[in-house]
Amino acid sequence: MTPRPGSGKGSRSGALRPCPAMRAALTLQSLREVVKSLVDTPGFDRVYDKIKLLSAIPGKVVCEMKVEEQHTNRAGTLHGGLAATLVDVVSTVALMNTERGEPGVSVDMNITLESCPLPVFHRGDVVSMVNFCSKWVKQELCQLMPSLERYISAPKMGEEILITSQVMKQGRRIAFTTTDLTKKATGKIVAQGRHTKYLGP
């Protein structure tokens, strides 16, 4: 899922191999070079080019990104596929910023996106149903196919998001990470990801 830093071509995270400098937690500048190397490749990997590393401590990194048109779905909000990509990439960087420094191979990854809560309708509560449907139409939700990409709280084009990833547990072979995507202006969580990686024998 994640390209090899400095490889010159895209690859999956399983192809990453830590260099000796990654055996200890990296400096902030070194990590920035790692992130920069992710976009110095052709193809899909260029989607990372707006990611900026803000801070890092061993096992935890914070990045930011401004949502641009290339990052959005038809509704003009952050694409769910890109949210998953951010979880994949930033959590891998967090793993590389540990004493072991092994980026690992993805075993499991899941994303929870914050949606607009639906009201509870009681039998005969026609007025509430009509009001809700009217609001739904005004928000233009009716123009789109129902999908996991359509969320009221999703960041819109031009908004900045923070991506905070942390290694929760790292064993001899398996590592578990969590990643929060939040709106920079409000701190509101818009997506949460969990990423499990195999570190090798």
Whether residue 109 sits in one domain with residue 130? no
Percentage of the chain modeled with pLDDT above 70: 69
One domain, residues 45 and 71: yes
pTM above 0.75, yes or no: no
Asked if residue 77 belongs to a domain, the reply is yes
Q: Are residues 172 and 157 in the same domain?
A: yes
CATH number of the domain at 84, please.
Answer: 3.10.129.10
- Residue 111 shares a structural domain with residue 95: yes
Backbone CA torsion sign across 80, 84, 167, 157: negative
Q: What is the pLDDT of residues 134-178, one digit of tens each?
A: 555 545 444 444 444 444 578 999 999 999 999 999 999 999 999
Residue 4 lies inside a defined structural domain of this protein? no
The residue to which tokens 């092994």 are assigned: 102
Q: Which residues constitute the domain of residue 132?
A: 119-148
Domains: count for the chain: 2
28-33 — which CB contacts under 8 Å span 24+ positions? 28/53, 28/55, 28/56, 31/56, 31/61, 31/93, 31/96, 31/97, 33/5
Give the contacts of 90 (CB within 8 A, at least 6 positions apart). Answer: 51, 61, 63, 163, 165, 179
- Within this chain, do residues 59 and 126 fall inside the same structural domain, yes or no? no
pLDDT tens, position by position, 76-86? 899 999 999 99
User: In this predicted model, what pLDDT tens digit does every residue of 43-53 receive, in sequence order?
Assistant: 777 777 888 99
Let me know if residue 60 belongs to a domain. yes
